[in-house]
Amino acid sequence: MTSDINIVFWDADDFSPSMRATIQKTGRLAFTPHASERLGLDSTKYIRIGRNLSDLSDNNLYFTIVDDMKGSFKLNKTGDYYYANISVLLDKLKISYKEKSQGMQITAVEPGEMKIYKLEVNGMDDDDEQTS
């Protein structure tokens, strides 16, 4: 007795891990090596960080990668990790970071020609732990 079987195998490359970053207790926004590669980060790049003014309840941060330093945070590299020191911005926005590091999901949000990415704090439905 023979049975027909039709097996489809998935390609592991189709399931790439999500992009992540961490706001460290030092005030650095650090990108994982995977996120750095997918975003095309290098030490000649800068990031601009902003907020969504169309939705005042949106406490996420947004960023874009740029080549010029005007109004931007410099990307630096330590080991395999790219980071930007954003402690002054975090202090201005009253975002708590000195007590514990916060892991963040990075998702692409492309409203126009400029590539914009959203930093979402994982596991937080409201801003009681995000801001002070």
The string of pLDDT tens digits covering residues 3-15 is: 788 888 887 766 6
Question: Could you tell me which residues come within 8 angstroms of residue 17 by beta carbon, excluding any fewer than 6 positions away?
Answer: 34
pLDDT score at 126: 38
Kindly tell me if the per-residue pLDDT of 131 is higher than 60. Answer: no
Residue 63 DSSP SS3: strand
Mean pLDDT of the chain, nearest integer: 86
Tell me if 64 is assigned to some domain.
yes
Tell me if 61 is assigned to some domain.
yes
pLDDT score at 129: 37
Tell me if 5 is assigned to some domain.
no
Tell me if 1 is assigned to some domain.
no
> Which residues form the domain of 40?
18-121
Tell me if 79 is assigned to some domain.
yes
Tell me if 23 is assigned to some domain.
yes
Structural domains of the chain, count: 1
Tell me if 10 is assigned to some domain.
no
pLDDT score at 9: 86
Task: Summarize pLDDT for 53-101 with one digit per residue, the tens.
Answer: 999 888 899 999 999 889 999 999 999 999 999 999 999 988 889 999 9
This model's pTM is above 0.85: no
Tell me if 128 is assigned to some domain.
no
Structural contact between residues 29 and 21, judged by C-beta atoms closer than 8 angstroms: yes
Spatial CA neighbour of 116 closest among 47, 59, 57: 47
